A = this chain, B = another copy of it.
Amino acid sequence: MIRTGIYGATGYTGFELIHILRRHPEVSVVFATSKSYAGARLSHVFPVPWDLPLVAEADADPGAVEAVFCCLPHGAAMQTVVTARQTGAKVVDLSADFRLRDATVYQQWYGLEHAAPGLLPGAVYGLPEVHRREIEQADLVANPGCYPTSILLALYPLLRAGLVADGPIIADSKSGVSGAGRKPSLKTHFVEANENFSPYNIGRAHRHLPEMAQEITRLGGRGEALIFSPHLTPVDRGILSTIYVPVSPAETLHTLHNIFNETYADEPFIWLLPEGQLATMAHAVRTNLCALSLTLVEPGQLIVCSAIDNLVKGAAGQAVQNFNLMFGLEETLGLADL
């Protein structure tokens, strides 16, 4: 049993993580912190009968655990990660604090000076389908954003094969409301979000853009080609990204399908739909799957639909997948039968 601590257990991501870890056969949760609910039990915060005690961060001892999941907001995560790493615990950080390799870019997008730039070179971007080998060796994994997970997994086979052509890559993404967190706001008030559908931060304004651009460029593409438009959808959970990619006009739907098939042949959490089917949120919600479908509009114009659960493959599930890799466990442990 791997002794594990959770920072930020009472947001939706932290709660989903606890939900997953309860089924994980190799994990014991040693502590779970909460700023708002320290001293209470989890059953006071969520409608579940689990008696997990919640402690203040100051009362959690990272030295007592081998693994830390950090579900704190960006900015707040940095120092906690530093402390945990100093005790020797391996860390999966679900915030944005260690995703960008360049501290300047971080400061530019998040408006904060990075407190631990020295950790950035060693932090691995935790997309197992792309960086599995590095994750297995890592002590610090930066869990990708939810939108980036859905979009990068859709682009990876094309980038890897060098098939992305010139022109803008347009990712039109739709997310459930849990992606906005648990803190009440007018935007997430039931009466405002229900029976509505809203774009926000579209174009190149959303903070998930730079990590996608970084990864696209690392994979040989042009990160600056990406246009990204998130929208709020009145569902609890799920992301569907409809991604318009210019590709080499020599490819047919069939050859493109084969490329995806080969790239993801052994991936337990990629579900490439048969030709003719389209990925929907329902294909992925409450699983760690990324469901993908391909539609070739005309030679050179591909649409990839990519569906994940923002809280699972887009956050807590992928964090556990990374954890499994970091500790040499079966990658699907705790994740196969959500």
Contacts and interface: CB of A to CB of B under 8 A. Distances in A.
Interface string A237-253: 01010101000000000
B12 A191 contact: yes
A11 to B, nearest CB: 11
A191 B11 CA distance: 12
B194 A234 contact: yes
A147 interface: no
A128 B170 CA distance: 31
Contacts of A139: none
A243 to B, nearest CB: 10
Contact of A202 (B178, B194, B242): B242
A76 to B, nearest CB: 20
A279 B49 CA distance: 12
A111 interface: no
Nearest to A205: B295
B280 A240 contact: no
Nearest to A178: B191
A301 interface: yes
Interface string A188-224: 1111111111111011100000000000000000000
A96 B279 CA distance: 28
Nearest to A293: B199
A186 B182 contact: yes
Given A22-B337, A167-B167, A297-B227, A240 B199 contact: yes
B234 A196 contact: no
A277 B268 CA distance: 42
A106 interface: no
Contacts of A23: 337
B303 A229 contact: yes
A55 B39 CA distance: 44
15 contacts: A177-B191, A182-B189, A188-B191, A190-B193, A191-B236, A196-B282, A197-B233, A197-B235, A199-B279, A199-B305, A202-B242, A202-B278, A202-B303, A203-B297, A203-B303
